[in-house]
Amino acid sequence: MFIQMEDELASMAAILGASWAGSKSMTVTSGPGFSLMQENIGLGAMMEVPCVIVDVQRGSPSTGLPTTVGQGDVMQARWGSHGDYEIIALAPNSPQECFNIMPQAFNLSEKYRVPTIVLMDECTSHMSEKVVIPKKKDIKLVDRKKPTGKKEKYLPYKAGKDMVPPMAIAGEGYNICTTGLTHNEKGYPDLSAECQDSLVRRLCDKIRFNTEDIIQIEGENVNDAEVIVVAYGTPSRSAKRAVALARDEGIKAGMLRLFTVWPFPEKQVRKLALQAKSFVVPEINYGQVVLEVDRCAAGNANVYSVPKMGGELHSPEEILNVIEKAAGEKTVKGGIQYA
């Protein structure tokens, strides 16, 4: 079912309400609309409402380049709403991956009761390629955990060891109180520092402690790589070709492809930083994920940012030039260098 709402604030509110009513709900936006949704994305994180937001990134900030490519919303996806919370964000690079990622996004959202973001970019959204649709029986679907036991004893925000509380559906006879205020296990407002500490820790830890289940990455030629390209979204297509060209030149290059941008694969990057001499990070922004790569490299590897401000993609040759520069670096100085 499709419903046209009057604006982005209303769209986010509508999918939160639809989810509480038992539907798997999503909305789609781009650029400034994503900014307008942030308030209710934070509300969804606080109330622990499963839902999916697709953000088609374009040249930014403000109205920017409405119909051309960008990746400037990556940090906003993670930190866009105020306060401490965790989010899940996935980044496809093709129409096929857009199809494949949507069930994954819904499954993660339902399993962890958290808004999940699909960080597309304009190039992918306007791309025409073959999409193979699997049989329905082959698509894995996950539904939110439902409460058991007596309805009158149901506590909407009482979680077990997995830190994710069972979610009753409005109208099924359970008494439900949910609010954006700091709340106790009954869902009632509790504005004490103790309740705030307990609640916010759980909102964050249910994601932080399950990163091995959530994070999906792909390594290509990374086992012996001295230069590793870290890429996500459409630039990963150019990066793949650039790594192949570098290998043809005898450079030990590899690629770490991020399907999951948030939570960030810290452990994997830290481990690779002890092996590789340099990271190369092409992004259609002035450096966002590169900040995370540099943080996790912790001075053990050089980090090269290959930025585009928006409006066009990297060519494989542009990325190759930086791979060559990184391969020629004799010492590890640490820190970010901007190409």
pLDDT tens readout for residues 6-16? 999 999 999 99
The confidence score (pLDDT) of residue 130 equals 96
Residues 245 and 131 in one domain: no
Rounded Cα distance, 243 and 24, in Å: 39
Has residue 313 been placed in a domain? yes
| 215 and 260 Cβ atoms separated by less than 8 Å | yes
The verdict on residue 211 lying in a domain is: no
pLDDT confidence of residue 129: 96
Q: 304: domain CATH number?
A: 3.40.50.920
Final residue before a domain boundary, out of 106, 123, 138:
138
Q: Which domain holds residue 261?
A: 217-338
| pLDDT for 297 | 97
Residue 78 placed within a domain: yes
Domain boundary among 122, 138, 154: 138
Which pTM was predicted?
0.95
> Does residue 14 sit within a domain?
yes
| Residue that terminates a domain, selected from 121, 138, 155 | 138
Sequence-ordered list of residues with C-beta below 8 angstroms from that of 136, at least 6 positions apart, any chain:
none
Whichever domain contains 120, its CATH number is 3.40.50.970
In a domain, 249, yes or no: yes
Q: pLDDT at position 339, please?
A: 82
Q: How far apart are CA 321 and CA 327, in angstroms?
A: 10
Give the CA distances from residue 100 to residues 15, 118, 133, in Å, rounded to whole numbers and listed in that order: 21, 11, 9
97 within domain boundaries: yes
Per the CB < 8 A criterion, the answer to whether 40 and 255 are in contact is no
Write out the chain's pLDDT in tens, 339 residues.
Answer: 999 999 999 999 999 999 999 999 999 999 999 999 999 999 999 999 999 999 999 999 999 999 999 999 999 999 999 999 999 999 999 999 999 999 999 999 999 999 999 999 999 999 999 999 999 999 999 999 999 989 999 999 999 999 999 999 999 999 899 999 999 999 999 999 999 999 999 999 999 999 999 999 999 999 999 999 999 999 999 999 999 999 999 999 999 999 999 999 999 999 999 999 999 999 999 999 999 999 999 999 999 999 999 999 999 999 999 999 999 998 898 889 998
**Residues 133, 12 share a domain:** yes
Counting the structural domains of the chain, the total is 2
What is the distance between the terminal CA atoms of the chain, rounded to a whole angstrom? 46
Are residues 223 and 133 part of one domain?
no
Domain annotation covers residue 59: yes
Mark whether 110 and 230 lie in a shared domain: no
Extract the runs of DSSP E, i.e. beta strands, from 123-263.
217-220, 227-231, 253-258, 260-262
Residues 6+ apart with CB under 8 A from 128: 95
Asked whether residue 177 is domain-assigned, the answer is no
For residues 224 and 124, membership in a common domain is answered with: no
Compute the distance between CA of residue 50 and CA of residue 167 in angstroms, rounded to an integer: 10
Q: Are residues 114 and 231 in the same domain?
A: no
